Amino acid sequence: MGLTSVVLMAVLAGIPQEELTDIPCANCHSPNAWIPLAPDHTFQHNRDTLFPLEGEHQNAECIQCHPGETAMETHAFAQAKPECSACHLDIHQNEFGSECGRCHNTSDWDMSRWNQNHDHTIFALNGMHASLACRDCHGVNFQRLAGQLTTDCFPCHSSQYRLARENPDHPDNDNCRLCHNSRAWLPIDMSQHDSEFFPIYSGSHRGTWTTCDAECHFDPSDYQIFSCGLNGVCHKHDKTKMDRKHRGEVGGYSYNSVKCYHCHSGGRGGD
C-alpha cells in the first residue's frame, strides 16, 4: 500500500461516507487501497455526471478538477465548475466570451473551427472573408479585439475604395456592400437594392430595366439623383394625367421623383 493511500485512509478514518458524497465508496475504490482507483470501478463520469470527459480531459487526474487539502474538499464534487475558465487561464481576458468551445476543442487548442463559429458573431465570414486569418482583423497579438472593430467595409478596404474613386463614374459612397458582395468586387452586385432602397429585382419593376444609368440614375456621378419615370425613359408618367389623379386627393403632391418615391417607395401604384 502506497504512502498516499495510507494518508488517505488516516484522513478518511471516522468520516461517514454519506458526509463526503452520496456516491458509494465501492463505485470508485477497491478494498485494497484508496488510490489508485479500482480498475473495474463502476462509476462512469460520462454517464453519471453532467460533464463528459472528452479529448484531453480523459487524461486529467481527479485532483486536477476536484482539488483540496482534505477528504471533504476533494469529495465536494458538486462544487466543481464546468466553465473552461475554472481550469484554464483566459488569455483573451473575456473579450470573446467564456465559451472556449466556439473556437477550440477538448483535444487541443487548435483553432481550425474558429471561422465557422465566427458566423455566430455580428460579422459572418462569407466569401473571401472566410480565408482570413485572425491576425488580419485582430492584429498579431490580438490588440484589436471585438469591441474595437467595426463591420463597416471602409476601414479594411480604404485603399481599394480610393483606387476606385479615380474613376469619375464611381459613386462617392464608401458603403461598399450596396454595390458589391464578399465574393469579389466584380461583377457589381446590387441585390441589396431591394431592401435598402427600391425593389428592382422583385415586384413590378423586375426585368423592366437594363442598367442603372439608362433608366433610373441618369447622373452616374451621383446615385442619389434618380428618376421615377418622369423623364419618360422607363415608363411614362404623363404630368397631366398624374396631376389629375393626385391633386385634391394627395396632400403635398408635387410632380417630381422625390415626391413620387416618398409615397411609392415599395414600387406599387396603390401605396
From residue 75, alpha-carbon distances to 151, 235, 261 in Å are 48, 81, 72
The pLDDT confidence band at residue 7, using thresholds 50, 70 and 90, is very low
pLDDT higher than 70, residue 6 = no
Model pLDDT, residue 208: 82
d(CA 234, CA 236): 7
Q: pLDDT for 103-135, tens place per residue?
A: 788 888 877 666 666 777 788 888 999 888 888
DSSP string computed for 187-237: S---TTHHHHT--SSSGGGTTS-S-HHHHT-S-TT-TT---SSTTSSSS--
**C-alpha grid cell, residue 241:** 394625367
Q: Which value, to the nearest 10 degrees, does the dihedral of the CA atoms of residues 251, 254, 255, 259 take? A: -80
What residue has cell string 451621383? Answer: 222
Q: How many CB atoms lie within 10 A of CB 252?
A: 8
Q: pLDDT for 49-75, tens place per residue?
A: 989 999 999 999 999 999 998 888 999
d(CA 194, CA 218): 19
∠ CA(39), CA(43), CA(48), 5° rounding? 150
Model pLDDT, residue 53: 94
pLDDT higher than 70, residue 81 = yes
Residues 195-221, mean pLDDT to the nearest whole number:
83
Model pLDDT, residue 252: 86
Percent of the chain with pLDDT over 90: 19
Residues 222-239, mean pLDDT to the nearest whole number:
76
Domain ranges of the chain: 3-81, 86-148, 190-263
pLDDT higher than 80, residue 146 = no
* pTM of the predicted structure, to 2 decimals: 0.51
The pLDDT confidence band at residue 235, using thresholds 50, 70 and 90, is low
Model pLDDT, residue 14: 54
Model pLDDT, residue 269: 72
Spatial CB neighbours of 184, under 8 Å, sequence gap ≥ 6? 127, 128
Model pLDDT, residue 112: 66
Q: Averaging pLDDT over each range in 12-16, 20-24, 72-76, which range is the top one?
A: 72-76
